A and B are shown apart, each in its own frame.
Chain A
Amino acid sequence: MVKKKRKIIEIDDAVVKFAGDSGDGMQLTGTQFSDTSAFVGNDLSTFPDYPAEIRAPQGTVAGVSGFQVHIGHKEVKTPGDLADVLVAMNPAALKTNLKWVKTGATIIIDIDNFESKQYKKAGYETDPLEDGTLDGFNIVKAPITTLNKSIVIEMGLDSKTADKTKNQFAVGILYWLFDRDLNFGEQFLDDKFKSKPQLALANKKVLRAGYDYAETIETLESRFQILPIKERKGLFRNITGNNAVAWGFLAASERSGLPLFLGSYPITPASEILQELSKRKHLGVKAFQAEDEIAGINSAIGASFAGNLAVTTTSGPGLALKSEAIGLAVITELPLVIVDVQRGGPSTGLPTKSEQGDLLQALYGRNGESPVIVIAASSPANCFDYAFKACKLSIEHMTPVILLTDGYLANGSELWKIPKMSDLPEIVPRFVKDNDPDFKPYRRDLQTLSRLWALPGQEGLRHRVGSLEKEDVTGIVSHDPLNHEKMVRLREEKVQRVANYIPELQLDGEDSGDLLVIGWGGTYGSLLSAVQDLQREGKSISLAQFNYIKPLPKNTKDILNGFKKIVVCELNLGQFAIYLRSQFPQYAYLQYNKVQGLPFMIYELKLKFNQILEEL
């Protein structure tokens, strides 16, 4: 047989989505393909998208699990709007994902799963392969299930185990399509199935079969090449937001010299932070899986009182349960970092989907005047930086800090330049010396207004803190009205003074102009991509993405002042807009809001910004 020589087209970037039943191994194949791309020097951003059920019925739309990866020769800021290549292991995967695919995209389908019973189960009335549904796409109909079976049954694998290797056939096709070295994929499988060499071998055979299949068939006319990024140098790894948060805490623990204590309760999508830290006993971490969210945070407060770097991790509903205890950390003026990995709400809401709905809860969701520092991470990798900064601010200012991330950051991953510990800033706990004759529990540092930290076990410093209001300086229980007002104001002022210790807001774009786009937290990649596209078109538009929310950066007002129009973009109904209106009521704020459990699409943002610019 004569093989046709296919041309290789150089492209800047591509978005690939793997979709199949949960259990089909889509997360694994996605990771495998991303790691390979990182290895060859591409930038990347990934986002897994999985159902809330562990195993919804096979072949149904409810059971579709997906993994999207955006790889590029240049810097990649988001997992991408629409896919260039879709792998659909069954009709349900096609049905769910077709709307997220570019016109003309390549769709690789497992033809074995497209019998009428199967496409009807997915909600198609007629055969989508025949009825024109897929007109305009480049369809690769591969008999993946049967080819896979014929390979692995030969090796003596039973048919149930055999089905688990079929995802490798699809990845094999992609390795060919993107001109990837198969060796890396094989190495990945050897690592993954270290303890099961037979399974590793079977997977590798299937991977190669997929590759050879792509080389042979006529449907694929050309293959693509995405060259490595040249500007980047250094040591890199792929990291998810949850993992980055956990490592940020480890770094802060090492840099501050304080042992790390985590008091937490499992909740989607925050559980990986607990799981990652539970694995880190070799770095001295004490991870306490509590009986509930309330015990999680209260145990952390206890550990903080005893002198540990104490953190608690949760998602929105868990933050609601923790709110009383956050007030306790506020009044006892102890360091404590609370991570809220936001998800769709209210109540149980959309456990596996992302939203920015907890901002007002973080700022105000407690009884009494209960100020805390609120900061938000804006990419999977910078979750490390903000987890580290949350610890630094909390320890050095003796106040709780709420760190907001979201499901999108937590599960998504990107390439991360590995920092050196020695390059990270110092963290200096404000300890009292043993037997300090001037010690009083609420005596304050004049600059920061933070009290000092005296630990049980220290001589000459016995004292009592707690949930009742205390007299200034002495810490004696006090119901005096004027003292209460003084303490309320001191606690607020202490948090406001943190503005002196955080960086000023950096704008992406000119510092004045027609339109200022405002975002906060995890929407940064989408907003920046949209804004930069319009800047390239010559539009007068800049982006201000907030990572520090309470207190706001000192130059916030100057930045707001420079623009004719301001639009605040959020994945909620306008919580940051409400907050900005309360802080700077002199400006008019337009809003762009989306509450679908989905990130912003770059094209929809551009549409909105263009519309505002035209109305100027």
Chain B
Amino acid sequence: MANEFQTEDLSTPIVSKEDFKLDQPVKWCAGCGDYAILSSVQNALPEVGVRKEDVVIVSGIGCSSRFPYYINTYGFHGLHGRGSAVASGIKIANPKLSVWQITGDGDCMAIGGNHFIHLVRRNIDINILLFNNRIYGLTKGQFSPTSPKGLKTKSSPDGTIESPFIPGELVMGSQGTFFARIPDTEPQRMKEVFVEAAKHKGTSVVEILQNCVIFNNGIHYSITSKELKDDHQIYLEHGKPMIFGKNKNKGLMLKGMRLKVVTIGVNGISEQDILIHNAKSPDDALHYMLVRMTLPEYPVATGVIRSYDDNVYEDVMEAQIKKAREENKIKTVDDLMNSGNVWEI
């Protein structure tokens, strides 16, 4: 009956992108990849299926971390690297909220590295959007933990001598349940991946290959440019074969312990030989190989690489609380204070 629908929730009007816009000026550099990400988040949120009042966006420090000030949700702008911890507290305190952490490669791979891996390990239901431009932007151009080895920056004039983190590897190493990668040049796919991340119960990490126009312009060019992207990216979708290329004729196979790029129609290889992507597999061995694929041997994997449903921290905690409340005879603080060794004098 129509009436039943009406009584569903009158207080929550259907949300639209407009609901998440603020009239405050956005202060990112002209041409910054962050604008596209902001727009995609505003597009994604109405599709997530939560009340607009239940969305909380949390950040640390950095260009990306100004995000909460540019979107009309509840927002918390925290300290350098500590967004994961603040987000954890919010979500544990009120599991009904849809909590999003905005962070950059400096914020969550360097100063916040510890908090990041522990959040992922605990599998608290938070959506992390990791803006990876492989440089320190807000502090003006020093190398970051994801800068390619040899990159010359203000603090590495002779080229960095550090191996970069691959965020997906850290997620797998921390027993992560959801990892996706997406370039900031793909607004439609970005929105879809954000919705997938939101729907996943558990910590979702979305690495966004984001372009910093000022300090590291074009760092992702070989992956994102119109001419190269079809051959240099493989967009993975659960249940579909791992096929890519301009002519949709390249694919991935497993040869021994390694992935191998093959061409369909060559050496008797048909579409049936190509691996089918199973994002929901509990075993992360193949996901691990996929996140590690780099040019020139492999295309870079994008899309949802891993999405495995496991127990969620706050659900288990709520269940323990419920059980303890039912089983323990001590129901109030008065009960507690008067329990055990008490003497009437």
Contact = CB atoms under 8 A, between A and B. Distances in A.
Interface of A: 35, 38-39, 41, 228-229, 232-238, 247, 250-251, 254, 259, 261, 263, 280-284, 286, 288, 290-292, 294-296, 298-308, 310, 324-325, 328, 332, 418-421, 455-468, 476-477
B77 A418 contact: no
A236 B344 CA distance: 6
Interface of B: 11, 24, 51-54, 56, 58-59, 61, 68-69, 72-79, 82, 84-94, 96-97, 114-115, 118, 317, 320-321, 324-325, 327-328, 330-334, 336-338, 340-345
Given A294-B85, A457-B54, A235 B61 contact: no
A394 to B, nearest CB: 16
A456 B345 contact: no
Contacts of A457: 51, 53-54, 74, 94, 96-97
Contact of B90 (A259, A303, A419): A303
Greatest chain A CB density within 10 A among B87, B88, B343 is at B343
Contacts of B87: 302
Given A286-B317, A462-B72, A465-B77, A301 B343 contact: no
Contact of B337 (A418, A455, A463, A476): A418
Contact of A302 (B90, B96, B118, B332): B90
Contacts of A304: 89
Contacts, number: 196
A1 B69 CA distance: 90
9 shortest interchain CB distances as A-B pairs: A466-B77, A302-B89, A282-B328, A464-B75, A298-B85, A299-B89, A281-B324, A306-B93, A303-B93
Contacts of B317: 286
Contacts of B325: 281-282, 284
Contacts of A298: 78-79, 82, 85-86, 89, 115
Nearest to A191: B341
A325 B118 CA distance: 19
A292 B320 CA distance: 23
A237 B76 contact: no
Given A238-B341, A286-B92, A456 B321 contact: no
Contacts of A254: 332-333
Contacts of B54: 456-457
A328 B79 CA distance: 7
A375 to B, nearest CB: 21
A306 B327 CA distance: 28
A467 B61 contact: yes
A529 B75 CA distance: 53
Contacts of B58: 302
A310 B345 contact: no
25 contacts: A39-B343, A41-B345, A233-B345, A263-B89, A281-B325, A282-B325, A283-B330, A283-B336, A288-B89, A298-B79, A298-B89, A298-B115, A304-B89, A305-B76, A305-B86, A306-B56, A456-B53, A456-B56, A457-B96, A462-B52, A464-B74, A464-B77, A466-B77, A467-B77, A476-B24
A300 B85 CA distance: 8
B11 A466 contact: no
B345 A463 contact: no
B341 A237 contact: yes
Contact of A307 (B73, B94, B118): B94
B75 A466 contact: yes
Contact of B93 (A233, A296, A308, A328): A308
Contacts of A421: 332-334
A132 B59 CA distance: 70
A492 B118 CA distance: 36
Nearest to A458: B53
A237 B343 contact: yes
A33 to B, nearest CB: 13
A456 B327 contact: no
Nearest to B61: A467
B82 A294 contact: yes
A116 to B, nearest CB: 43
B74 A310 contact: no
B342 A462 contact: no
A354 to B, nearest CB: 25
